[in-house]
């Protein structure tokens, strides 16, 4: 019935070419308008999996409870010194908070007033004791600095300490480190090189607790422009503009980078489109060359190209109408449609040429080709349609939506090939081919396959056995981060961040009924050997506060008058600073003479540096002020805040902290960090398994990565079984012969196993993107083998010499050029897709041209 309709459509195109062409162009114009006005695409890999399955619902529960933590930008601020990092982060976060045009919320997860005041309490009691002792020991230096934060004050501080050395109160070695460190910084600056000095690092004596951080973070929730292809682009640009405005760059010892789900998604799309023009050009060039060699006619090539472009436009519109927005998988319908659409066009064109060689005119040749090909084309399109449709019931939405679009595309491709293409050929009137359409030179291969049939079948059987043996070694890598371009700024920043075990995004999230339950769960999880740390709201309430606060209060009593002097010395003039530096330089030299030893060398170095400054220009002293005094102000402010620490309870936590851990409905968040290399899939598997044994409703990237792998694997098993059943049923309905159904499907299964074996041998893992090679392999393979089986059952002989072999060969080459061009993409996922598609198509072609003829055996008499 369908075959008869195809013959009628071809006849319509032959008899009314102008009318058919006009109707097709009108349809294409309408489709183009719809596609242009409704085009949408998401690069969110989470959208590839159904939101209805349990682990996705757990993710959604966390996002719903804490909406401020989703769709965020993470700003990483690195400074050459702790003071630079802190000052830069404070300035940038304040500026971003005022930018309500681009940002909803701006937070500092590891800084701000709360951590400035209470941060010391989060260390161990021993580290608090060491830190407060270091501050008390530095009191002689802190006093002059706090009352006179200038070059004069710094010189005066050293003068005071030298007086103590001269009186025998302290040894010169006690101030060796400050002298050596400051001399080195001033020498570097005088040499015209970038120089940095940190008072915090100077006072952080060994054993005084954790080193001051050189990295700070900002969490910003941007206002996304969903009408743009890169919704977060404006927000990222706003951050970069503010950083430039504030002078936060490498020239000033600061690096500002952005990462997080928003810039990563934008970067993903940017990578996809980065060299899309080049990829498209290669695809088009390879396609045109292949079509030329297949048909030897520019007019036929033009007809096929117009048919493909028209069908692609219509399929795009239908796809957008059906699924709303394309995703990273469904967008592959474009090369898929081109590949399979070309197959239909080449089959018709090659048979059309063969009929004209036999003396038929253009119209008769088209109608004869329709009679010969209508049944195999309809069956091939139906089989591909069912093969992709088998993914619809699965939870792998990416492939399911590809199946919808590809299925619709097969109908469009078939209809276009039997309407628009014949009309185009009637109007273009291509010349008669000058030579044999088939491959006469393949006669020896045909004879060899007939005489060595068992050898060929045994060879393929052993190859299949070897491929099956390699199946346990197939690598499945469904980590979405591994699909991203590693050289993108956001990805580079994330990779750097992931090296920090307590800042990695590979964390597991849990929702507890309330804060008390969260605390209990945190303690249980923290005890697991696979867990580095578990954090909940009570993690922001320091332990052993009474002892620590006593230490801080003792230091405050001793240092309060020192760091908060009643009388501040008026700012010095440049001459005052020069004079103070010269006096202290002289004192340093005198002390070095009277106190020989290793520290005397440091005193002489600092004396030389001070003398150079004293005799230098005001600009030299201004640079030294920036080098030494600017971080001094930051450090003094942090010391003042630290000495005001007070008791912390859950109730006194700032709203911006408590709100990130306790939802409005009372549920509480627990975040769990893995122990070991969080980039290692084996580490993440053990970590996830251990946490989920305690809390089965866990979510987060490690859970999503592993659950997605299981979901995708099961989707392919489920769809594979269903596709095999549906296609087998269709083939049996048409062929009415179990043996012929097996002859059609066996080479498809074989090429699938050979593709997987090849992936093992070349070390290519299967991922979210390249796994679509397998349904495509199924579709193309079924189509190719249907052509051969139906020709064989019709009594065809010497298949490799026939026009059918030419059509299949060049169809495979055209499809390969369409898909293989994806290998050139800068996007790793797309490139791996192109690689496996090429491998799968190569095996499909080998199975079609070598295994299939050997499997079919001797020519079969045409059935009645």
For residue 534, the SS3 value is strand
- Measure the CA–CA gap between 679 and 152, rounded to whole angstroms: 51
Query: Mean pLDDT over residues 527-545, rounded?
Result: 93
| For residue 278, pLDDT beyond 80 | no
DSSP run (H or E) holding 216: strand 215-222
Q: Pick the range with the lowest mean pLDDT from 245-249, 309-313, 496-500.
A: 496-500
Query: Mean pLDDT over residues 230-241, rounded?
Result: 88
- Measure the CA–CA gap between 563 and 129, rounded to whole angstroms: 19
Torsion region of 103: left, alpha or beta (phi above 0 gives left; psi -120 to 50 gives alpha): beta
Cα distance between the two ends of the chain: 18
Strands 215-222 and 254-259: unpaired
pLDDT of residue 586: 95
pLDDT of residue 863: 47
Query: Residue 256 forms beta bridges with which residues?
Result: 77
Phi, psi of 669 (to 5 degrees): -95, 140
Q: Dig out the tokens for 547 from the structure.
A: 């002892």
What share of the chain in percent tops pLDDT 70? 95
pLDDT of residue 201: 85
- Measure the CA–CA gap between 687 and 681, rounded to whole angstroms: 10
Select the highest-mean-pLDDT range: 604-618, 702-716, 737-751.
604-618
Neighbouring CB atoms inside 10 A of 185's CB total: 19
Domain 71-115+212-259 CATH assignment equals 1.10.3720.10: no
Q: Pick the range with the lowest mean pLDDT from 110-114, 257-261, 330-334, 447-451.
A: 330-334
| For residue 82, pLDDT beyond 70 | yes
**pTM metric for this prediction:** 0.75
Is the CB of residue 122 less than 8 Å from the CB of residue 549?
A: no
DSSP run (H or E) holding 107: strand 103-107
Q: For 418, how many CA atoms within 13 A lie in the half-sphere containing its CB?
A: 27
Angle at 383 between CA 380 and CA 384, to 5 degrees: 85
What are the extents of the domains in the chain?
2-46+270-479+706-856, 71-115+212-259, 124-209+585-642
CA distances 579 to 612, 615, 621, 856, Å, are 12, 9, 12, 102
Q: Dig out the tokens for 349 from the structure.
A: 């064109």
pLDDT band at residue 435, thresholds of 50, 70 and 90?
low
Query: Mean pLDDT over residues 114-128, rounded?
Result: 90
pLDDT of residue 761: 93
DSSP run (H or E) holding 640: helix 618-642
Query: Mean pLDDT over residues 85-112, rounded?
Result: 92
Q: Dig out the tokens for 378 from the structure.
A: 């309809």
pLDDT of residue 640: 92
pLDDT band at residue 258, thresholds of 50, 70 and 90?
very high
Q: Dig out the tokens for 711 from the structure.
A: 């979901």
- Measure the CA–CA gap between 449 and 858, rounded to whole angstroms: 10
- Measure the CA–CA gap between 750 and 267, rounded to whole angstroms: 38
pLDDT of residue 417: 92
- How big is the chain by its Cα radius of gyration, in Å? 37
Strands 215-222 and 103-107: antiparallel
DSSP assigned state of 39 = -
Query: Mean pLDDT over residues 569-585, rounded?
Result: 93
pLDDT band at residue 662, thresholds of 50, 70 and 90?
very high
pLDDT band at residue 778, thresholds of 50, 70 and 90?
confident
| For residue 648, pLDDT beyond 80 | yes
Residue bearing the bigger pLDDT, 584 or 775: 584
Beta strand residue intervals within 675-823, DSSP E: 699-700
Q: Is the dihedral of CA 788, 791, 793, 798 positive or negative?
A: negative
Closest CA to 744 of 786, 702, 773: 786
Residue bearing the bigger pLDDT, 48 or 74: 74
- Measure the CA–CA gap between 824 and 173, rounded to whole angstroms: 63
- Measure the CA–CA gap between 846 and 831, rounded to whole angstroms: 23
| For residue 626, pLDDT beyond 60 | yes
Q: Using N-to-C axis directions, what is the helix angle for 738-762 and 453-470, rounded to 10°? A: 50
Neighbouring CB atoms inside 10 A of 456's CB total: 17
Enumerate residues 6+ apart whose C-beta is below 8 A from 257.
75, 76, 78, 489, 490, 492, 493
Q: Dig out the tokens for 21 from the structure.
A: 């062409």
Q: Pick the range with the lowest mean pLDDT from 146-150, 165-169, 223-227.
A: 223-227
Query: Mean pLDDT over residues 772-781, rounded?
Result: 75
Residue bearing the bigger pLDDT, 20 or 490: 20
For residue 332, the SS3 value is helix
pLDDT of residue 77: 95
Q: For 404, how many CA atoms within 13 A lie in the half-sphere containing its CB?
A: 23
For residue 510, the SS3 value is strand
Residue bearing the bigger pLDDT, 862 or 250: 250
| For residue 864, pLDDT beyond 50 | no
- Measure the CA–CA gap between 197 and 201, rounded to whole angstroms: 9
- Measure the CA–CA gap between 497 and 230, rounded to whole angstroms: 23
pLDDT band at residue 750, thresholds of 50, 70 and 90?
very high
Angle at 375 between CA 370 and CA 380, to 5 degrees: 110
- Measure the CA–CA gap between 261 and 253, rounded to whole angstroms: 27
pLDDT digits (tens, 9 = 90+) for 410-429: 899 999 999 999 999 999 99
Query: Mean pLDDT over residues 812-834, rounded?
Result: 77
pLDDT of residue 848: 86
pLDDT of residue 29: 96
pLDDT of residue 407: 86
| Helix, strand, coil percent values for the chain (each to nearest 5) | 70, 5, 25
pLDDT digits (tens, 9 = 90+) for 391-410: 888 888 888 888 899 889 88
pLDDT of residue 238: 94
| For residue 819, pLDDT beyond 80 | no
Strands 531-535 and 699-700: unpaired
Beta strand residue intervals within 636-695, DSSP E: 668-674
DSSP assigned state of 726 = H
pLDDT of residue 83: 92
- Measure the CA–CA gap between 700 and 690, rounded to whole angstroms: 14
Q: Where are the alpha helices (DSSP H) in 324-471?
A: 333-357, 362-389, 397-428, 443-451, 453-470
pLDDT digits (tens, 9 = 90+) for 467-495: 999 999 988 776 777 777 777 788 888 88
Q: What is the DSSP string of 42-102?
A: ---GGGGB-TTSHHHHHHHHHHHH-GGGSS-EEEEEEESSHHHHHHHHHHHHHHHHH-TTT
- Measure the CA–CA gap between 272 and 249, rounded to whole angstroms: 29
- Measure the CA–CA gap between 148 and 567, rounded to whole angstroms: 10
Closest CA to 69 of 660, 573, 740: 660
Q: Can you say how many angstroms the Cα of residue 78 is from the centroid of all Cα atoms in its chain?
A: 23
Average pLDDT of the chain, as a whole number: 87
- Measure the CA–CA gap between 398 and 408, rounded to whole angstroms: 16
Is the CB of residue 688 less than 8 Å from the CB of residue 699?
A: no
Residue bearing the bigger pLDDT, 226 or 751: 751
pLDDT band at residue 141, thresholds of 50, 70 and 90?
confident
- Measure the CA–CA gap between 409 and 344, rounded to whole angstroms: 12
pLDDT of residue 711: 84
Q: For 145, how many CA atoms within 13 A lie in the half-sphere containing its CB?
A: 24
Residues belonging to the chain: 864
- Measure the CA–CA gap between 94 and 470, rounded to whole angstroms: 57
Torsion region of 260: left, alpha or beta (phi above 0 gives left; psi -120 to 50 gives alpha): left
Closest CA to 693 of 529, 533, 821: 529
Is the CB of residue 537 less than 8 Å from the CB of residue 671?
A: no
Query: Mean pLDDT over residues 437-441, rounded?
Result: 68
- Measure the CA–CA gap between 588 and 167, rounded to whole angstroms: 14
- Measure the CA–CA gap between 76 and 92, rounded to whole angstroms: 11
Query: Mean pLDDT over residues 122-133, rounded?
Result: 88
């Amino acid at each position: 019935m369908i075959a008869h309709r195809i013959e009628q459509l071809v006849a319509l195109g032959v008899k009314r070419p102008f009318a058919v062409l006009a109707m097709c162009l009108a349809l294409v114009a309408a489709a183009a308008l719809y596609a242009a006005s409704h085009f949408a695409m998401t690069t969110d890999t989470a959208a590839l999996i159904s939101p209805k399955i349990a682990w996705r619902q757990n993710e959604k529960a966390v996002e719903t409870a804490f909406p401020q933590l989703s769709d965020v930008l993470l700003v990483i601020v690195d400074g050459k010194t702790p003071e630079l990092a802190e000052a830069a982060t404070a300035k940038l976060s304040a500026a971003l908070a005022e930018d309500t045009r681009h940002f909803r919320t701006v937070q500092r997860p590891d800084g701000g007033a709360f951590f400035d005041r209470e941060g010391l309490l989060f260390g161990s009691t021993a580290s608090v004791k060491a830190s407060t002792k270091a501050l008390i020991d530095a009191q002689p230096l802190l006093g002059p600095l706090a009352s006179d934060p200038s070059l004069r004050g710094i010189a005066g501080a050293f003068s005071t300490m030298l007086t103590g050395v001269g009186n025998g109160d302290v040894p010169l070695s006690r101030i060796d480190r400050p002298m050596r460190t400051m001399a080195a910084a001033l020498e570097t600056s005088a040499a015209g090189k970038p120089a940095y000095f940190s008072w915090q690092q100077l006072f952080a004596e060994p054993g005084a607790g954790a080193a001051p951080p050189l990295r700070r973070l900002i969490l910003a929730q941007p206002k996304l422009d969903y009408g743009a292809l890169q919704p977060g682009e404006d927000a990222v640009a706003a951050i970069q503009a503010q950083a430039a405005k504030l002078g936060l760059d490498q020239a000033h010892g600061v690096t500002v980078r952005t990462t997080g789900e928003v810039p990563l998604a934008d970067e993903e799309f940017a990578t996809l489109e980065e060299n899309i023009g080049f990829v498209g050009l290669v695809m088009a060039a390879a396609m045109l060359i292949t079509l030329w060699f297949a048909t030897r006619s520019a007019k036929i090539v033009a007809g096929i190209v117009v048919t493909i472009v028209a069908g692609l436009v219509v399929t795009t519109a239908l796809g957008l109408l059906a699924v709303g927005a394309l995703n990273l998988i469904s967008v592959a319908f474009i090369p898929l449609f081109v590949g399979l659409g070309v197959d239909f066009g080449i089959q018709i064109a090659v048979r059309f040429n063969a009929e004209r060689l036999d003396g038929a005119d253009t119209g008769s040749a088209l109608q004869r080709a329709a009679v010969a090909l209508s049944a195999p084309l309809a069956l091939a399109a139906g089989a591909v349609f069912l093969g992709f449709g088998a993914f619809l019931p699965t939870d792998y939405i990416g492939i399911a939506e590809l199946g919808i679009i590809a299925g619709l595309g097969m109908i469009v491709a078939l209809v276009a090939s039997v309407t628009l293409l014949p009309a185009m050929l009637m109007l273009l009137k291509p010349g008669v081919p000058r030579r044999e359409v088939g491959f006469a030179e393949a006669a020896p291969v045909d004879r060899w396959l007939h005489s060595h049939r068992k050898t060929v079948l045994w060879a393929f059987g052993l190859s299949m056995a070897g491929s099956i043996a390699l199946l346990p070694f197939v690598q499945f890598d469904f980590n979405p981060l591994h699909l991203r371009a590693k050289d993108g700024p956001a990805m580079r920043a994330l990779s750097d961040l992931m090296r920090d075990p307590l800042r990695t995004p590979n964390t597991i999230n849990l929702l507890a009924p309330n804060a008390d339950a969260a605390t209990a769960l945190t303690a249980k999880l923290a005890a697991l050997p696979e867990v580095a740390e578990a954090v909940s709201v009570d993690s922001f309430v320091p332990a052993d506060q009474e002892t620590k606060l006593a230490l801080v209060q003792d230091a405050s009593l001793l240092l309060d008058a020192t760091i908060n002097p009643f009388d501040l010395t008026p700012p010095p003039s440049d001459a005052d600073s020069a004079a103070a530096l010269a006096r202290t330089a002289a004192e340093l030299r005198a002390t070095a003479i009277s106190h020989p030893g290793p520290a005397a060398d440091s005193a002489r170095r600092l004396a030389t540096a001070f003398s150079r400054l004293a005799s230098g220009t005001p600009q030299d002293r201004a640079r030294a002020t920036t080098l030494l005094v600017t971080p001094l102000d930051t450090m003094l402010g942090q010391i003042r805040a630290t000495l005001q620490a007070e008791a912390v309870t859950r109730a006194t936590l700032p709203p911006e902290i408590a709100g990130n851990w306790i939802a409005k409905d009372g549920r509480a968040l627990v975040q769990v960090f893995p122990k070991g290399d969080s980039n290692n899939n084996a580490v993440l598997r053990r970590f996830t398994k251990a946490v989920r044994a305690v809390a089965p409703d866990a979510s987060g990237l490690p859970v999503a990565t592993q659950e997605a792998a299981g979901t995708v694997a099961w989707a392919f098993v489920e769809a594979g079984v269903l596709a095999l059943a549906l296609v087998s049923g269709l083939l049996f309905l048409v062929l009415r012969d179990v043996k012929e159904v097996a002859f059609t499907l066996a080479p498809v299964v074989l090429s699938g196993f050979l593709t997987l074996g090849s992936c093992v041998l070349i070390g290519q893992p299967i991922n979210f993107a390249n796994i679509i090679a397998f349904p495509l392999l199924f579709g193309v393979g079924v189509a190719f083998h249907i052509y051969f089986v139906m020709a064989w059952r019709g009594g065809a002989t010497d298949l490799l010499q026939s026009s059918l072999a030419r059509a299949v060969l060049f169809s495979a080459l055209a499809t390969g050029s369409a898909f293989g061009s994806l290998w050139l993409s800068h996007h790793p996922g797309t490139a791996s897709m192109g690689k496996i598609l090429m491998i799968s198509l190569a095996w499909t072609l080998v199975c079609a041209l070598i295994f299939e003829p050997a499997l079919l055996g001797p020519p079969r008499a045409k059935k009645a």
